[in-house]
Each structure stands twice: as C-alpha cells, then as structure tokens.
Amino acid sequence: MSGTPINRRQFLTKSVKGAAAVAATSLLGKNLFPTPHIKNSKIADKVIVLGIDGMDPVLLRRFVDMGEMPTFKKLMESGFWGPLRTTMPPQSPVAWSSFITGTNPGGHGIFDFIHRDPKTFMPYLSTSRSFGAKKTLNIGSWSIPLQGGRVDLLRRGPAFWTILEENDIAASLFKLPANFPIQPGNSRAVSGMGTPDLLGTYGTFTFFTDLEIPDADKFTGGRVVKIKVIDHIVRSKLVGPPNTLRTDGRDTEIDFTVYRDPQEPVIKIVIQDHKIMLNQGEWSEWVPLKFELMPMFASVNGMVRIYVQEVHPNFRLYMSPINIDPMEAHLPISNPASYSENLSEAIGRFYTQGFPEDTKALSHGVFSNEEFLQQSKMVLDERLKAFDYEFSQFHEGFFFFYFSSIDQNTHVMWRDMDPTHPLYEPHASQEAKQAVYYFYRAMDDVLKEVLAKIDSNSTLMVLSDHGFAPFRREFHLSTWLVENGYTVLTDPSQMHEGEFYDNVDWSRTKAFALGLNGVYINLSEREVMGSVPPRDFLRIKKEIIARLAHVRDPQNGRRIVTRAYDSHEIYSGPYLDFAPDITVGYARGYRISDEAVLGKFPTGIVGDRKDKWSADHCIDPQSVPGVLLTSKEVKLENPGIWDLAPSILKSFGLNVPGEMDGKPIFF
C-alpha cells in the first residue's frame, strides 16, 4: 500500500486555516443538495450523524488521495471537511459526552475512562456505576432480593436529544457511546460503549484448551480453562455471572460437552438445548444460554459465539464474552426496553457489549491477526445489517449511528501498517497490513448509502471523536512522581511490587497519577488520605505542570509531554469537582503505561511498548483531532466536538440552552 507522504503537522495546520476557504469554494462550485422547493431551507427535517470512532484526518486524507474512498472525496468536494477539535483528554467517553451535551467536560463530569472516589479512593469506570441489591431476605443459602440492584449513568449535563424530544422531533440513537444505561424517553436508542458483558466487565472471553498457556492466570479480559480430551470427548463448564441470589455469591456455571471426530477436524458441542456441529476455523451463530440462579424460579439470559480454532492434535476453543442477550435483556440496553428484542427479530442477535472487537484475545495471543480480523469483520457485518435496517426505518427527525471498527482496529493493527513501528511484522499477511485501510474503505460504502438517500432537507455530519497516533514508548507517570518526590512510598525497596497504591505513604504524598491522563493533588480537604493543605495546592500543581513539560526520553532526548494542562484553566461548569487537577498531554509516540494507570510503579520512567495495542490517542488533543465532514457550509472556524449538539438543535430551528458552551457551526 503506498500513499502520498503527508507531513501531519503541516496538514493539520493547513486544514484548519483552509477550512473556511474550502467551504467557500464549495459554495462557488456545484451544490450537491439544491433546495429550490423548500421555502425555508435553513430548517432541516432530517439530521443524520455518522459517528466513526477514531477516524483520523490524516489517514482519511491519505486513503482518499489513493483514490479508494470516492464517496468521501465527493462529500469533501461538495460540502465541508476538516479536522474536528477534540476534548482534553481525547478519550472516547469524554469526547462523546461533549458531543452529547455540547459542553466541555466540566459540563458533563466525564474526565477519563477511570475516576476515583475521593472519599474511599476506589477507582471506577467513569460513565456508569452499578449497585448491588441492598435489601435481601435470606432463606438457607438463597438470598432473595427485596429491592433490586441498579446501574446509574454518571454522565451529567443536557443530552441534546432530550430537547429534540421536548419539541416532538423523533430521534434514533444507535450505539452512541457514554449512553449506558439508556435513560427512558421518547427516543429510540440502543446502548453502545460502556455496556458491560454479563460478567459486568468490558468483555471477558473464555479459552478452552489442552495446551499449557504461560501466564494464563495473568490474562486480563479473558479466562483460560485447561481441559483434557478423553476418548475424543471434552467435558467442561462455562462460568457465568455470580449468583446474586446465593449468600455465598458462587459463580453460575453451564456444563457442556464437546465430541471430537477421531480423524476429521469437526466437533459437536452440546450445551443446554443446543447441539452445534462446527468445523475447525468455523464460528457458531449466537448461542442463547440461561444461567440458572435458582432452579425453576430465576435465571439470567446471555449468549456466546463459539469459535473452533483447532481440533487435532491440540484442542483450542474460543467462546466470546457472554453478551447480554438482546432478545431478553436484563439490563437497560435499549429504549423502549423491548426495542432490542424487536431489532434482533429483524436482523438477528448482535453484540451488545460496548467494545465487541476482541483486542484482548489478540493481545494475549489467543487470536492470530487473521482470527482477530475475521472477528472484527463479523462485528462490522452485524453493524452494517443494523445500519441498513435502522436507516431504512428513518424518515424524519434525527438519526445517529456509531461505528467502532476503525477505532479498535487502528489500536491493534497500526503496528502492521507502519514499517517504522517497533512492533511492525515484515512478514505479516497483506490482510494484516491493510486492515486499517479495509475498515476505512467500509465506511465509504456506508456513506454512499447515506448520500443516495439524503435530500435538500437533510443535514449530514460525519464525525470522529479523535484521531490516532502510534504508541511506541510508555511513560511511567507514577514512577516519575515518585522520583520527583510527589508520591512517597512506605517501603521504596518494594517499589515494583504490590497493587494499586498499597505501598504509598499517604501522609507524605503530595500528588498521585490515576487514569489515562490524570494527576491529582493529595489535597487534605478532599482526598480521604489527603496531606496537602489548601495553601500549598496551587504551588504544587503549578510546579508539577512546569516539570512535566521538561520530561525527556533518556533514549532519544525527545519531549514526552507536549503540555500538561491545569484543569481550572481548561474546564468550566458545574462538575469540575470530578476532574483531575492536571491532565497530561503526551507527545505523539508516547502514552502513559498500563501499570501507571492503576497505581503500580514500574522501573524507570520510560519503556518500550510491547503490547499489540500499538496506537493510541490518549495524548495531547492538538495532535489527535477528529474529523468532520458535512453536507452544508461550516461557518464557524476551528469547530470542536462540543459545537455539534448546538448545531443539531439549530438545524431543527431550536434554541441552544445556556448550559451548552458549544457554538452552532452552520450559524
């Protein structure tokens, strides 16, 4: 694959400056959507938004210049296109929450994938929090919930579609991130990023094998089950969610048996009422399963897809994370609640977990590149089916549809697209080397379908929440804070041992790292083990910000941090209390290390990235803007993702509420 060499910085600078000019040129040229018969062409009766997570403006431009994305090219020439400013930090839940609310993160309270509770110092996923059933009645070993558990959406601020609802404008929102649990309302919605699997995780696969897997107990996002093949029969169990009705909270289980053909690469799986024949290399359809909580009385529904990797001589069987079954969902994954069932009746069952592409199976070596790509393409196929169905149902009002493929595939397949990446595999297949391009190209087909349907009363926006950068070197921010005296350890000789800050002397700690971009001052009036008096707060914060800007990679002398931001300078709004005090904007090529995200202290301050997760965007937002394409002229200079909610409202002729700080882009 060859592309026009583009200097990223030049391109971005030029594009931002040139955005207005491009828009003006398009006015002089042909108008794709003439509006002679509309009396008031300023008011749309349809607004269509395609949310393409992680679409990068430079990669898009490269693929368009290669002549492979003709529909994007057409829209670029006839409408507007350019980089879209993203949030600090440029993480999906943060940026999409700004899309939803038309505010900076201070207006919606999501500042990172991971927040901490200052009162308990427990970390949690920022967008939703689940609470177990508080009141139960115990009968023997059974515990009967008298008051149900619940899941709370933690995103605050005004969601733009609530204003559409108030004005009787229909809205359809498919897999919009940071929207789980789905709130009741009049909009039709299916939840996306943030939706857990049945185990309450972001996705936990199960891998059954007779092979010895090194470090299997350290797998994250997956479980390895060692099995024995006896007389060509495997008997094992799929472990489900904990049985909340039992006082011992024991995990639920489903027994299954696999019969292997003695010679041929074929198996039969018997699990509950299902008997499934599969060849080696074949995937099952979705298999609905019931995890029994109390015999005859209570069960919870889930579903898996089964993939036979190897039958002879070794046995390798992959089961997908146990997804919430959209036919019988126990959690609020759609509105109306019955909608997920109607949709699966129309298009078949589909992945309900927030991040369906199994990057963990790839990272742990359970999937090869090709197996991962096959699974990713299955996810995309499901998504395209849903798109065709949803889009065919759409006649007026607001339509949002989300695609995850580019984001997840760029994260893990960048390494094979970029010969300069340390994890580049020169002998990788062409499929692996062109994977990122494949998913960009797929978006061109979607856009073609949309352009064929829109008319003069339609406003179209195609956007991404952030772009991408290679991830080559990891910065151990936690260790840097120790080396600079801000985080103090109880026993420095045990620095590299232990978990989540269990070796920290809080009485002498002034600041700590948490999440993908955050640094918190250990403020006495706020943190449970706070030690910094308020009078020292500002001084320490400014000191750390200044020092971070000078951190250099000892290997090559490069700056690791482009800029560290003071939260009080970049955020405003009612939810500032949830923000880290400092957000760290890494330079391209760098990101925080996995260990430092959750309070471990690796050796040194920088290390090589070794995981297949080889590209990222949790860096300085100026280096990874998203992309915006629209069918109409954009008049606002330098649009940001927070400007789109006001633009959607304005397109329908509605007023923009005061709490939204974004500006309409079309005026």
Partner 1 sequence: MFSKKIALDKELYDKAKKYAETAGYSSVDEFVTHMLEKEIANIEEDGESLDAVQERLRGLGYIS
Q: Does position 124 bind partner 1 by CB under 8 A?
A: yes
Closest CA to 445 of 150, 71, 136: 71
Count of alpha carbons within 13 angstroms of residue 108, beta-carbon side: 31
Residues 127-146 that bind partner 1 (CB under 8 A): 130-132, 134, 136-140
Cβ atoms of 94 and 517 within 8 Å: the answer is: no
Closer of 56 and 616 to partner 1 (Cβ): 616
Centre a 10 Å sphere on the Cβ of residue 284 and count the other Cβ atoms it contains.
18
Distance, CA of 516 to CA of 584 (rounded, Å):
9
At closest approach, how far in Å is the CB of 525 from partner 1?
Answer: 22
| Binding to partner 1, residues 593-622 (CB under 8 A) | 594, 597-598, 611, 613, 616, 618
CB of 395 to partner 1, least distance (A): 37
| Cβ-based nearer residue to partner 1, 308 or 516 | 516
Smallest gap from residue 117 Cβ to partner 1 (A): 8
Q: Does 151 bind partner 1 (CB under 8 A)?
A: no
User: Minimum Å distance from CB 610 to partner 1?
Assistant: 10
Minimum distance from CB of 247 to partner 1 (Å)? 8
Q: How far is the CB of 307 from partner 1 (least distance, A)?
A: 19
**113 lies in the site for partner 1, by CB under 8 A:** yes
Q: Which stretch binds partner 1 (CB under 8 A): 110-118, 158-166, 226-234, 529-537?
A: 110-118
CB of 363 to partner 1, least distance (A): 6
The nearest distance, CB 593 to partner 1, in angstroms, is 9
Identify which of residues 12 and 293 has a Cβ nearer to partner 1 in the complex.
293
What DSSP string runs through 323-380? EEPGGG-SS--EESTTHHHHHHHHH-----SS--S-HHHHHTTSS-HHHHHHHHHHHH
Find the binder of partner 1 among 162, 201, 280, 429 (CB under 8 A).
Answer: 201
DSSP secondary structure letters along 458-519: EEEEEE-S---EEEEEEE-HHHHHHHTTSS-BS-GGGTTSSSTTTTB-TTT--EEEETTTEE
Separation of alpha carbons 556 and 151, rounded Å? 47
Contact 633, 22 (CB under 8 A): no
Three-state secondary-structure class, residue 397:
strand
The yes or no reply on residue 506 touching partner 1 (CB under 8 A) is: no
Does position 401 interact with partner 1 (CB under 8 A)? The reply is no
For 359-368, give one letter per residue: b (16+ CB within 10 A) or e.
Answer: bbbbbbebbe
- In the list 273, 499, 569, 577, the residue contacting partner 1 (rule: CB under 8 A) is 499
Q: Does 114 bind partner 1 (CB under 8 A)?
A: yes
One residue of 44, 84, 125, 615 binding partner 1 per CB under 8 A = 125
Of the two residues 140 and 262, which places its CB atom closer to partner 1 in the complex?
140
Window of 14-22, 167-175, 198-206, 552-560 that interacts with partner 1 by CB under 8 A: 198-206
Our finding on whether 248 is near partner 1 (CB under 8 A) is no
C-alpha pair distances (Å), 255 with each of 36, 234, 281, 301: 66, 11, 23, 15
CA angle 261, 262, 264 (to 5 degrees): 60
Nearest-10 crossing angle of helices 369-393, 405-417: 150
| Rounded least distance, CB 74 to partner 1, Å | 33
Q: Taking phi first (over 0 means left), then psi (-120 to 50 degrees means alpha), and beta for anything else, what does residue 544 get?
A: alpha
Q: Are strands 222-226 and 205-209 parallel, antiparallel or unpaired?
A: parallel
- Count of residues in contact with partner 1, rule CB under 8 A: 43
Q: What share of the chain is helix, strand, coil (3-state, %, to 5)?
A: 30, 25, 45
611-630 b/e (C-beta count within 10 Å ≥ 16 → b): bbbbbbbbbbbbbbbbbbbb
In the window 42-81, what residues touch partner 1 (CB under 8 A)? Answer: none
Q: Binding to partner 1 by residue 204, rule CB under 8 A?
A: yes
> How many Å is the Cα radius of gyration of the chain?
25
Q: Which is nearer to partner 1, 202 or 575 (CB)?
A: 202
**Residue 124 vs 438, nearer CB to partner 1:** 124
Residue in 127, 408, 583, 623 binding partner 1, rule: CB under 8 A: 408
DSSP 521-554: E-BTTTSTT--B-HHHHHHHHHHHHHHHTT-B-T
| Cα distance between residue 294 and residue 395, in whole Å | 45
d(CA 105, CA 567): 10
- Per CB under 8 A, 294 contacts partner 1: no
Measured from the CB of residue 138, what is the shortest distance to partner 1 in angstroms? 4
To partner 1, the closest distance from the beta carbon of 576 in angstroms equals: 23
Tell which positions 431-450 bind partner 1, by CB under 8 A.
Answer: none
> With respect to partner 1, which residue has the nearer C-beta, 355 or 486?
355
How far is Cα of residue 501 from the mean position of the Cα atoms in its chain? 26
CA distance 218 to 237: 20
Contact residue for partner 1 among 84, 516, 605, 629 (CB under 8 A): 516
- If one asks whether residue 351 binds partner 1 (CB under 8 A), the answer comes out as no
Q: Cα–Cα distance between 487 and 312 in angstroms, integer?
A: 53
Mask for 356-395, x = binds partner 1 (CB under 8 A): ---xx--x--------------------------------
Binding stretches for partner 1 (CB under 8 A) = 113-114, 117, 120, 122-125, 130-132, 134, 136-140, 196, 200-204, 220-221, 247, 355, 359-360, 363, 408, 411-412, 499-500, 516, 594, 597-598, 611, 613, 616, 618
